[in-house]
């Protein structure tokens, strides 16, 4: 399935609300580099809040460094930003027993599940029209796994899931260009330290 085509079809079908209001979107933001490209794609179509919820990132100093890089993006894009709690114990519990799995396997699915569940919960509680994630920019991030989790949470919480596979249209390359443009730090590992 081409999830990026699905996204484009969804965007074509969007309608503005009263007074030309764009639909609201809670966007799980894995990092500033991936968010740069996704904001460039979606800012014109949605009223966006970025949600940095990534208790998978180790160590805490790296988590804080990645968090601080969002200031550069927020100076360039008219969006809101919120950071969730750094619930490292919750993450450890979510992936317990899976620490030795290869990257891209079941530990990552559990990690996506935790981060997207928190995003779906928040989207539901705060009345967002849509939720999504920037994770599909990553070349090693499987779109079918991420979109499967998102679709399932959409059914559970009753909030629309915005399908994507942002790597499909050169999104990863474009994110590198945008990082150069805005002077954004690009990390060289995903987040946890189990298989690096």
Residues forming contacts to ligand SF4 in the complex (CB under 6 A) are 56, 95, 103, 107-108, 111, 190-192
Q: Which is nearer to ligand SF4, 79 or 95 (CB)?
A: 95
Q: Measured between alpha carbons, how far is 134 from 48 in angstroms, rounded to an integer?
A: 12
Smallest distance from ligand SF4 to CB 170, Å: 22
For ligand SF4, the closer of residues 138 and 171 by Cβ is 138
The residue among 150 and 191 lying less far from ligand SF4, judged by its C-beta, is 191
How near is the Cβ of 107 to ligand SF4 at its closest, in Å?
4
Nearest distance in Å: CB 100, ligand SF4: 11
CB closer to ligand SF4 out of 63 and 70? 63
In terms of CB distance, is 47 or 101 closer to ligand SF4? 101
End-to-end CA distance of the chain: 30
What CA–CA distances, in Å, run from 120 to 38, 75, 165, 194? 18, 26, 19, 26
Using the structure block, give the residue that is written with the tokens 């990863």. 172
CB of 196 to ligand SF4, least distance (A): 8
Name the minimum Å distance from CB 57 to ligand SF4: 7
């Amino acid at each position: 399935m081409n999830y990026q085509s699905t996204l484009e079809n969804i965007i074509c079908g969007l309608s503005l609300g009263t007074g030309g209001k764009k639909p609201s979107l809670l966007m799980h933001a894995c990092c500033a580099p991936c968010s740069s490209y996704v904001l460039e794609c979606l800012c014109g179509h949605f009223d966006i809040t970025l949600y940095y919820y990534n208790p998978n990132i180790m160590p805490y100093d790296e988590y804080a460094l990645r968090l601080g890089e969002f200031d550069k993006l927020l100076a360039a894009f008219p969006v809101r930003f919120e950071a969730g709690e750094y619930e490292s114990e919750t993450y450890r519990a979510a992936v317990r027993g899976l620490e030795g799995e290869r990257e891209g396997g079941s530990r990552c699915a559990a990690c996506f599940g935790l981060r997207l569940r928190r995003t779906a919960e928040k989207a539901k509680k705060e009345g967002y029209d849509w939720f999504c994630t920037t994770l599909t920019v990553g070349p090693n991030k499987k779109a079918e796994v991420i979109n499967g989790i998102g679709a399932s949470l959409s059914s559970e919480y009753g909030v629309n899931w915005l399908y994507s596979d942002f790597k499909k249209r050169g999104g990863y390359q474009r994110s590198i260009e945008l990082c150069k443009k805005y002077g954004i730090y690009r990390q060289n590992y995903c987040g946890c330290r189990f298989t690096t």
